[in-house]
């Protein structure tokens, strides 16, 4: 019987709540909302605070109220929650006694395509430079070091946390 091979079986279903790495749950909130910045805080300070945290994708500062509010988008809800926990009660500015408070946002931060929270990366996507040099400006971050990524608890020194 030509063409008849072994019977095909359906693959095991993924465990509940499991999303393959290439797929992001559309409903998953991956953004945190940060309060407690001093009135003179700059958007760049927020970017510099977050840029090395695992899963950080983009951020923006909102200056509409009396005090600036920050929003930060992460690659997953778990990464956002870890950052939220690490930022909670972080003393941002000793001179003004500004202590950060972080919460999960109600919805995700919208980021324009090709623009990220880090200003230097926005330059990396400059199409005129890409065409002129024919180079690949996509940053490459190699595999983690031999000791892996640090645990969220070690991201922020305990001396910087202001416990009430």
Parent domain of 43: 25-105
Buried b (16+ CB within 10 A) or exposed e, 97-126: ebbbebeebeebbeeeeeebbbeebeeeee
Assigned domain for 45 exists: yes
Assigned domain for 40 exists: yes
Helix residue ranges, H only, the chain: 43-50, 77-87, 119-124, 127-133
Assigned domain for 83 exists: yes
What total number of domains does the chain contain?
1
Assigned domain for 30 exists: yes
Report yes or no on whether pTM surpasses 0.75. no
Assigned domain for 124 exists: no
Cα of 36 vs its chain's centroid, Å:
19
- What Rg, from alpha-carbon coordinates, does the chain have? 21
pLDDT truncated to tens, each residue of the chain (164 aa)?
555 555 555 555 555 555 555 455 567 999 999 999 999 999 999 999 999 999 999 999 998 888 899 999 999 999 999 999 999 999 999 999 999 999 999 999 887 765 445 444 443 444 333 333 344 444 445 555 555 555 555 566 666 666 65
Assigned domain for 58 exists: yes
């Amino acid at each position: 019987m030509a063409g008849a091979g072994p019977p095909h079986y359906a693959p095991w279903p993924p465990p509940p709540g499991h999303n393959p790495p290439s797929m992001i749950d559309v409903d998953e909130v991956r953004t945190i909302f940060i309060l407690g910045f001093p009135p003179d805080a700059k958007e760049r300070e927020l970017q510099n605070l977050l840029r090395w945290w695992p899963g950080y994708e983009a951020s923006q500062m909102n200056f509409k109220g009396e005090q600036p509010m920050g929003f930060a988008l992460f690659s997953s809800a778990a990464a956002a929650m870890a950052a939220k926990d690490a930022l909670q009660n972080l003393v941002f500015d000793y001179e003004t006694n500004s202590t950060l408070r972080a919460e999960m946002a109600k919805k995700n931060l919208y980021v324009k395509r090709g623009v990220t929270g880090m200003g230097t990366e926005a330059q990396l996507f400059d199409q005129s430079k890409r065409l002129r040099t024919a180079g690949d400006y996509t940053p490459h971050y190699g595999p983690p070091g031999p000791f892996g990524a640090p645990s969220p608890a070690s991201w922020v020194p305990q001396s910087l946390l202001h416990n009430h």
